[in-house]
Amino acid sequence: MLVAGNWKMNLGHADAVGRAADVVRATDGATGTVDVAVCPPAVWLDAVAERLRGSGVRLGAQNVHPEDAGAFTGEVSPPMLRDLGVHYAIVGHSERRQLFGETSAFVAEKVRAAQAAGLVPILCVGETLEERESGDAEATVLDQLASSLEGVGSADLVVAYEPVWAIGTGQTATPDQAQAMHAAIRGALAERFPGADIDILYGGSVKPGNAAELFAQPDLDGALVGGASLDAESFAAIVAAAKDAG
């Protein structure tokens, strides 16, 4: 099980460092059995890394550029993240696909570059409400998954199923909806990377109150948590639910 917190563009310097310390303290009893990570804004990665040192909580980045260096103003490269002790890099989050026009081809470049630098990509895929209501959810997600893995030769990654309609809306996929999509993703990954053991996280308004029923589903291997990860106690309760689910 892996529970990763995506802090998005939130928290100032002191709050980010403080929150990291709170997460370390609140998840201390679980980090031996559950993989736990926080993904702060890029500007606070260094300070949060310092606070996480020696703990069981890993550091993740919210984004990464596919090139190692060059004229890409404002971007951060995979080797730069590795230098900071970053372990995971979220790629293809729906906010980046929708607000910043990232295509699956570009996302695939990021997956390849992140892996080449020794980062573990957390590849996000998910359908919109329109796609779900028109019965296209599974086809959309599997198509996005395949094109976001174009040219990717290594199974060293995590996949996060994040229905766009459930992100930050308070509307969570039902355990059955999540399980059905996770099983489909698991099947596609098994064809793509036979024998590989790839964690599939659910993301979309995961909270302490719904985490246990989601984690009880056989194909859920954890969660990518947005809003609830900003509160260390809520985040720790989700980590505890992952621990209980084994």
- Considering beta carbons, is residue 129 or 193 the nearer one to ligand PEP? 129
The reply on whether position 109 binds ligand PEP by CB under 6 A is no
- Taking the C-alpha atoms of residue 105 and residue 99, their distance in angstroms, rounded to an integer, is 16
The reply on whether position 6 binds ligand PEP by CB under 6 A is yes
Q: Give the CA dihedral 238, 57, 193, 197, nearest 10 degrees.
A: -70
The reply on whether position 66 binds ligand PEP by CB under 6 A is no
Catalytic residue, from 65, 93, 95, 131: name it.
93
- Taking the C-alpha atoms of residue 144 and residue 39, their distance in angstroms, rounded to an integer, is 23
- Taking the C-alpha atoms of residue 169 and residue 128, their distance in angstroms, rounded to an integer, is 12
Q: Within 13 Å of residue 233, how many CA atoms lie on the same side as its CB?
A: 0
- Considering beta carbons, is residue 86 or 224 the nearer one to ligand PEP? 224
Smallest gap from residue 168 Cβ to ligand PEP (A): 4
- Considering beta carbons, is residue 168 or 187 the nearer one to ligand PEP? 168
The reply on whether position 3 binds ligand PEP by CB under 6 A is no
The reply on whether position 237 binds ligand PEP by CB under 6 A is no
- The residue range among 26-34, 63-71, 174-182, 199-207 that interacts with ligand PEP, by the rule CB under 6 A, is 199-207
The reply on whether position 179 binds ligand PEP by CB under 6 A is no
Residues in the interface with ligand PEP (CB under 6 A) total: 13
Among residues 168, 196, 216, 233, which is the contact residue for ligand PEP, using CB under 6 A? 168
How far are the Cα atoms of 10, 176, 219 from residue 37, in angstroms, in the given order? 16, 26, 20
The DSSP symbol for 27 reads T
Residue of 156, 164, 167 whose CA lies nearest to 229: 167
- Taking the C-alpha atoms of residue 4 and residue 246, their distance in angstroms, rounded to an integer, is 16
- Structure token digits, residue 234: 């809520």
The reply on whether position 210 binds ligand PEP by CB under 6 A is no
Q: How far is CA 139 from the centre of its chain?
A: 21
Among residues 206, 214, 236, 238, which is the contact residue for ligand PEP, using CB under 6 A? 206
The reply on whether position 187 binds ligand PEP by CB under 6 A is no
Please answer whether residues 65 and 72 qualify as being in contact, where contact means their C-beta atoms are separated by less than 8 angstroms: yes
Active site residue 162: yes
Catalytic residues: 93, 162
Q: Which residues bind ligand PEP (CB under 6 A)?
A: 6, 162, 167-168, 203-206, 224-228
